Structure 1
Amino acid sequence: MSTEKNNPLHKVLGLGFGIAILIGGTIGVGILRAPGEIAGMLDNYWLIIGCWIAGGIYVLMGCGAYSELATSIPKAGGSYNYIKRAFGEYAGFLSGWFDYITNAIAPAIFCIVISEYIVILFPSLKDQMTLIAIAFLVGFVLLHISGVKTGSIVQQITSTIKVLFFVALIVACFMYSGVKIPNVQTDTTVMSTGFVIAFFKSLQMVLGTYDGWYAICFFAEEDENPSQNIPRSLFTGSIIVILIYVLINMAYFYVLPIASLANSPLVASDVAKVVFGESGSTIVTVIAIFSIIGILNAYMMIPTRILFGLSRDGFFINAGQRVNSGGTPIVSLLISSIFSLILIIIGSFGALMTLGAFLSVTVWCMTYFSLIKLRVSEPNLIRPYKTWGYPVTPVLLVLVSLGILFGFAYSDRQSLLVMVIVAVLSYPIFRLLKNKQAEEIN
């Protein structure tokens, strides 16, 4: 098996990239859409805001856990490294591939969504949607072939533009005074069973919108100073995202009452039409395109790092760990991009999206378990950062993740079955790879 020394990643990333990849990998179209569905389920201003704050607290607890793990084990690929260290190679292999599938689906989805929004702006391009999606994919492949520094610069630029767009939208909403908002009445049925189900469904949606906050951990090996930059990136970036999410919800409901926005498929557009007139929908479409471009750039980089790490550990082809002169794992990038291209051409991946969410939560849960396990099994492991509130916070993270996982298992039996089948089939593949590895050594 090739050694890490022969395939070095370039240590060229810093704090700016860390914050940018978190913001870019988290803020997408979800925050433009999800508030309408949540408003339809909760129908209470303070409960809705409280749900977004609760999701933010969960993320901040997660920041502590990931900061400890990523600074203790600063390797490319993120979560699977910690799980492998805590629970052995098979657990690492399985979680690594779960994580890869989850993240490798994303670029195809984002390319398709960008093409959909471009067609909204330019209806004459309706028949060219697939070509537009492929063009974006090819463009970003070429960008990342040029090197990790280029990807970092693009990420910082797109994330900055994204934040400025959202801040401008928030300010515009709060400056608007054309609609008188009635006083919010407290819902006296908040303890009903219906409320409990609605709140947890809303929390699942909120956490889905926050997903991506741990993106910097995939790049720990390329960070100039991971011990300092990773915790700072995680907490700074997460606080920025939480503030934007909470304030944008407050801004939406400042302009229009909850009843007007409940179950709206694109709340931001409804609000922008009131604030900016008919041009409002165009403004939101432009914001959406920039949001997705930033998140697409992030997710062109993330699965590549996971596949690089898996290859280096013998869990994929040796060529997957090949790094070009610009610091990009070139073979892993091309393989991931071919997978995205196939998905774009097929054009239907709704089932893959739900499966991806299932796999993602499974990896989170295993990651938080690994923190607790490593604290017990390796008390002397050098930990430049220790998670706050241990052991309460990681236990809470495990319990919340398990709760979400059971909720998914109950509501999506098909994805559960697929995940079980993948897990069962993975073991003989793992044994085959291990035997091949042993033969190479001998």
Structure 2
Amino acid sequence: MEQEKSHFKPSLKLLDATMLVAGSMIGSGIFIVSADITRNVGSSGWLLVVWLITGFMTLTAALSYGELSAMFPKAGGQYIYLKEAYNPLISFLYGWSFFTVIQTATIAAVGVAFAKFTAYLIPALSEDLVAVNLGFISISPAQLLAIAVIVLLTYVNSRGVSAGKTIQTTFTVAKLLSLFGLIVFGLFFLDKGIWKANWENIWHLGALAPNGNVTSYTTFAALGAIAAAMVGSIFSSDSWHNVTFIAGEIKNPARNIGLSLALGTIIVTVLYLLTNVMYTGVISLHDMAYADKDRVAVSAANHIFGTVGTMTIAVMIMISTFGCNNGLIMAGARVYYSMGKDGLFFKKVAELNKNAVPGFGLWIQCIFASLWCLSGKYGDLLDMISFVVVGFYMLTIFGIFILRKKRPDAERPYKAFGYPVLPVIYIIMGLAFCILLIIFKPKFTWPGLIITLAGIPIYYLIKRINVPKPLDLEAPERAVG
């Protein structure tokens, strides 16, 4: 029994791992962010180019991570890869950013998205109402529902990986089928007039104004506009690497992690492209860019299904966000577990509960995500952290080159596809994205960078606190045996 408590149980098959990849990627983004992308690029052709670039980067990164996951099939994923390629400080900064914002704020954002669309069916849960007024803060029913969902999914996952696996696979299959159904219905009810208008001048790159005018960019500003547009598509395509965090619970991880990364990202990338093609066939570019509260999918569903469109898309997004949050919650605690093992986080997060999962890590993640729900600031922070997320992806992929030099004889059951060309292309594209954001959208960069760098003094403080005490050589030896 003690053996079961101290080790993860490998119980996830290839299908489960693939559904975790796809399910963690598909949340609320694909239903919303195309509005901001369209405002930035102003044409259907460039809308798809932004999604294609993001899809290429995501798939390239996933194929590169396959080598690392096969080399280090341990709980913690990217945290472990950064530690092995660089040093504990770099991996801690990733883990610090992951806990403070990347994972917990994402869980909050997805939870509130679930609540917002539930309010379409149950207006009493609206974010515009006040459920609790504490004077210094007003809490809406939507925020309370978001917290309740996070607590529920945390409890389910604390009961063991099998329960979380069932929810993940079931909800991911449901949302893949729902999104595919929306695409099919949308293309079937395609409006030929709208389609023709949207695809007449497909390569005119410019800012789409509320009055319908498209203002052309200079060449350099055009690159900045594409980078700004990609903030939304990268957010929508992120979290694909969550499967690497639970490597200790996947059967045959050396094979199945890399394969699930490839399969999951390909499935989602194709669905995202088809969804945007469908959007351009049912609503005008102007209506897409200036949809109410950026809810592009709601506008499309109203065109396809009529008055029941809002309810249809609300149910779809509820399914999507519920399954997405389950994957995020399940995977996140494994990073804190690895940090705890290294003495860089609460010691208790390095312990598994009686169900062989990091229960304490799950619950502190729950508390922090719930606080983000109450703050109302998670949306801004998620935009700001895109810069940091891509930065850590670049560092991790560059780590492949470092490890090939440091450990040339290490066992590599799988080698990065297209090495060294594809990893280099990703690093160049990621670097260009980050530099352009610094120049054109500084508000998306500096806050996330500051949060990350704030981890440096905390790292050295933790190291100082956890320095082993010197042995007392004069103390009498304890009897052994």
Distance 1:23 1:31 in 2: 13
Give the one of 268, 276, 286 matched to 1:249: 276
Shift in Å, 1:391:
1.3
- The letter for the 2-side match of 1:114 is F
- The letter for the 1-side match of 2:418 is G
Matching of residue 198 in structure 1 with residue 211 in structure 2: no
Work out whether residues 340 and 350 of structure 2, in 8 Å CA contact, stay in contact via their aligned partners in 1.
yes
- The letter for the 2-side match of 1:119 is A
- Alignment correspondent of 1:7: 6
- Alignment correspondent of 2:433: 404
Work out whether residues 104 and 369 of structure 2, in 8 Å CA contact, stay in contact via their aligned partners in 1.
yes
Q: Percent identity?
A: 26
- Alignment correspondent of 1:211: 238
Work out whether residues 26 and 320 of structure 2, in 8 Å CA contact, stay in contact via their aligned partners in 1.
yes
Distance 1:390 1:156 in 2: 32
Shift in Å, 1:382:
0.8
Report 1:351-362 matches (<5 A). 351-362=380-391
- Alignment correspondent of 1:377: 406
Structure with greater helix share of residues: 1
Cα distance 1:95–1:134, how it changes in 2: closer, same or farther (>3 A)?
Answer: closer
Work out whether residues 321 and 329 of structure 1, in 8 Å CA contact, stay in contact via their aligned partners in 2.
yes
- Alignment correspondent of 2:176: 163
Shift in Å, 1:433:
4.7
Matching of residue 116 in structure 1 with residue 130 in structure 2: no
Shift in Å, 1:113:
2.2
Shift in Å, 1:298:
0.9
Report 1:93-108 matches (<5 A). 93-101=92-100, 102-108=102-108
Work out whether residues 77 and 245 of structure 2, in 8 Å CA contact, stay in contact via their aligned partners in 1.
yes
- The letter for the 2-side match of 1:138 is V
Matching of residue 71 in structure 1 with residue 70 in structure 2: yes
Cα distance 1:406–1:434, how it changes in 2: closer, same or farther (>3 A)?
Answer: farther
* TM-score normalised according to structure 1 size: 0.92
- Greater shift, 152-161 or 294-303, is seen at 294-303
* TM-score normalised according to structure 2 size: 0.85
- 1:345-379 deviation line (CA, Å, top 9, x unaligned): 34443453344434322321221121111111111
Distance 2:448 2:28 in 1: 26
Matching of residue 291 in structure 1 with residue 291 in structure 2: no
Matching of residue 182 in structure 1 with residue 196 in structure 2: yes
The secondary structure found in structure 1 opposite 2:417 is coil
Distance 1:420 1:288 in 2: 31
RMSD: 2.4
- The letter for the 2-side match of 1:185 is E
Work out whether residues 315 and 430 of structure 1, in 8 Å CA contact, stay in contact via their aligned partners in 2.
yes
Q: Any stretches of 5+ residues in structure 1 without a counterpart?
A: none
Cα distance 1:417–1:218, how it changes in 2: closer, same or farther (>3 A)?
Answer: closer
- Alignment correspondent of 1:432: 464
Shift in Å, 1:430:
4.2
Distance 1:437 1:344 in 2: 41
- The letter for the 2-side match of 1:172 is F
Shift in Å, 1:324:
2.0
- 1:87-109 deviation line (CA, Å, top 9, x unaligned): 12222222222233311222222
- 1:418-438 deviation line (CA, Å, top 9, x unaligned): 236414423422431551488
Cα distance 1:367–1:16, how it changes in 2: closer, same or farther (>3 A)?
Answer: same
- Alignment correspondent of 2:346: 317
Report 1:329-348 matches (<5 A). 329-348=358-377
Shift in Å, 1:209:
1.4
Cα distance 1:342–1:379, how it changes in 2: closer, same or farther (>3 A)?
Answer: same
Shift in Å, 1:439:
7.4
Cα distance 1:349–1:208, how it changes in 2: closer, same or farther (>3 A)?
Answer: closer
Give the one of 237, 256, 261 matched to 2:264: 237
Shift in Å, 1:204:
3.2
Work out whether residues 38 and 263 of structure 1, in 8 Å CA contact, stay in contact via their aligned partners in 2.
no
- The letter for the 1-side match of 2:415 is K
- Alignment correspondent of 2:28: 29
- Alignment correspondent of 2:156: 143
- Greater shift, 39-48 or 137-146, is seen at 39-48
Shift in Å, 1:187:
5.3
The secondary structure found in structure 1 opposite 2:454 is helix
- Greater shift, 417-426 or 333-342, is seen at 417-426
- The letter for the 2-side match of 1:336 is Q
- Greater shift, 180-189 or 242-251, is seen at 180-189
Distance 2:222 2:95 in 1: 36
- Greater shift, 20-29 or 129-138, is seen at 129-138
Work out whether residues 349 and 358 of structure 2, in 8 Å CA contact, stay in contact via their aligned partners in 1.
yes
- 1:7-41 deviation line (CA, Å, top 9, x unaligned): 31111111111111111100111111111222222
- Greater shift, 410-419 or 229-238, is seen at 410-419
Distance 1:71 1:144 in 2: 25
- Alignment correspondent of 1:225: 252
- Alignment correspondent of 1:419: 451
Work out whether residues 60 and 423 of structure 2, in 8 Å CA contact, stay in contact via their aligned partners in 1.
yes
Q: Any stretches of 5+ residues in structure 2 without a counterpart?
A: 132-140, 206-216, 476-481
Work out whether residues 314 and 433 of structure 1, in 8 Å CA contact, stay in contact via their aligned partners in 2.
no
- Alignment correspondent of 2:302: 273
- Greater shift, 154-163 or 362-371, is seen at 362-371
Cα distance 1:420–1:332, how it changes in 2: closer, same or farther (>3 A)?
Answer: closer
Report 1:126-141 matches (<5 A). 126=126, 127=131, 128-141=141-154
Distance 1:401 1:354 in 2: 16
Cα distance 1:90–1:433, how it changes in 2: closer, same or farther (>3 A)?
Answer: farther
Cα distance 1:187–1:120, how it changes in 2: closer, same or farther (>3 A)?
Answer: closer
Report 1:80-91 matches (<5 A). 80-91=79-90
Work out whether residues 99 and 359 of structure 1, in 8 Å CA contact, stay in contact via their aligned partners in 2.
no
Shift in Å, 1:309:
0.8
Structure 1 moving runs of 4+ over 6 Å: 437-440
- The letter for the 2-side match of 1:120 is Y
Total equivalences in the alignment: 438
The secondary structure found in structure 1 opposite 2:27 is coil
Give the one of 152, 157, 160 matched to 2:165: 152
